[in-house]
Amino acid sequence: MRHLISPLDFTTEELDQLFDLAADIERDPQKYAHVCEGKILATCFYEPSTRTRLSFESAMTRLGGKVIGFSDANSSSAAKGESVSDTIRVISCYADICAIRHPKEGAATVASSKALIPVVNAGDGGHQHPTQTLTDLLTIRSLKGRLGNFTIGLCGDLKFGRTVHSLIHALVRYENVNFIFISPEELRIPDYITDMLKEKGISYQEVIRLEDVLPELDLLYMTRVQKERFFNEEDYVRLKDFYILTPEKMELAGDDMLVLHPLPRVNEIDVAVDEDPRAAYFKQAQYGVYVRMALIMTLLNLAN
């Protein structure tokens, strides 16, 4: 039985197969409308979410399966003190596959060690968010036509942003990816990630001003400042509007630079940028459904 806890749980070859399947689903969704009939997905969300939970639910529903779950820890037995391990043992009796989001780093790993069904990490604290990474990779592959040979700027909350951490881990496996980390000093990328890059001999730059590097980028990955992971409100208020991507700043960027964002957006991208053909974040949300459909099929052994 397979789980998806980290983006590295799949080899790049396996990811290619997954993305080929997702692309086929995009071409002909009707072909897959009954693949998961009789199967049940449980979504266990101990932390707020719109996109991730609903895109999982949409994915399973579009495959003809059914969905059960909770979207608030307070409405589950966690409120009575039940452990994640016990909850997942029980969910294993009710569902065929489970997507779990939890505020604690490592919660999905614990769940997978006790589960009798495939577990998908839908975000564990500030640690990893592998299905967002699959979404990001599929978006890049579909819209850029390649994974590798590009310069990507990651901008915003690089300290707490789990989507950033997961994406970097996934991208280091592709050829010639040049990283530019754009953040205020307080929200710099964690040392464990720069150490990993150094160890692998992968070059990266760290800068504070977005404007300085915009012309060099093939991809700009914007992120929101992760309010819920701050220890005090004052720091959040000071940093939340540090970056605001505007149509004026977009003039500094190349004609085929794509703007990605895992969403939700707060203030970091002016809504006027949405009209720019380089803004790819809503398409990215659509790819999130195709890739989760492909993932559910793969983990349930229904892909071949």
Active site positions, annotated:
51-52, 80, 101, 129
Give the residue with the Cβ less far from ligand NCD, 39 or 159.
159
Q: How far is the C-alpha of 101 from the C-alpha of 289, rounded, in Å?
A: 17
CB of 226 to ligand NCD, least distance (A): 6
CB-based contacts of 291: which residues, under 8 Å, 6+ apart?
18, 19, 22, 131, 134, 135, 138
By residue count, the chain amounts to 304
Give the residue with the Cβ less far from ligand NCD, 215 or 264.
264
CB of 172 to ligand NCD, least distance (A): 20
Tokens 């001999």 locate to 201
Which residue type is seen at 142? S
Choose the binding region for ligand NCD from 2-10, 22-30, 68-76, 261-269 (rule: CB under 6 A).
261-269
Nearest 10 degrees: CA dihedral of 60, 65, 68, 71? 10
Tokens 């990215």 locate to 284
CB of 21 to ligand NCD, least distance (A): 21
CB of 91 to ligand NCD, least distance (A): 21
Give the residue with the Cβ less far from ligand NCD, 162 or 292.
162
Give the residue with the Cβ less far from ligand NCD, 92 or 131.
131
CB of 224 to ligand NCD, least distance (A): 5
Kindly identify the residues of this chain, within the stretch 108-127, that bind ligand NCD according to CB under 6 A.
123
Q: How far is the C-alpha of 253 from the C-alpha of 257, rounded, in Å?
A: 7
Site string for ligand NCD, 184-223 (x = CB under 6 A): ---------------------------------------x
- In contact, 177 and 150? CB cutoff 8 Å: yes
- In contact, 268 and 245? CB cutoff 8 Å: yes
Sign of the Cα torsion 127, 291, 294, 86 reads: positive
Q: DSSP character for 190?
A: P
Number of residues this chain uses to bind ligand NCD (CB under 6 A) = 12
129 binds ligand NCD (CB under 6 A): yes
Choose the binding region for ligand NCD from 36-44, 79-87, 232-240, 258-266 (rule: CB under 6 A).
258-266
- In contact, 293 and 25? CB cutoff 8 Å: yes
Give the residue with the Cβ less far from ligand NCD, 254 or 264.
264
Q: How far is the C-alpha of 29 from the C-alpha of 26, rounded, in Å?
A: 6
- Rule CB under 6 A: choose which of 69, 118, 130, 262 binds ligand NCD: 262
**H helix and E strand count, the chain:** 11, 9
CB of 81 to ligand NCD, least distance (A): 25
- Rule CB under 6 A: choose which of 6, 71, 132, 284 binds ligand NCD: 132
- In contact, 166 and 132? CB cutoff 8 Å: yes
Site string for ligand NCD, 13-52 (x = CB under 6 A): --------------------------------------xx
The residue ranges that bind ligand NCD (CB under 6 A) are 51-52, 123, 129, 132, 162-163, 223-224, 262-264
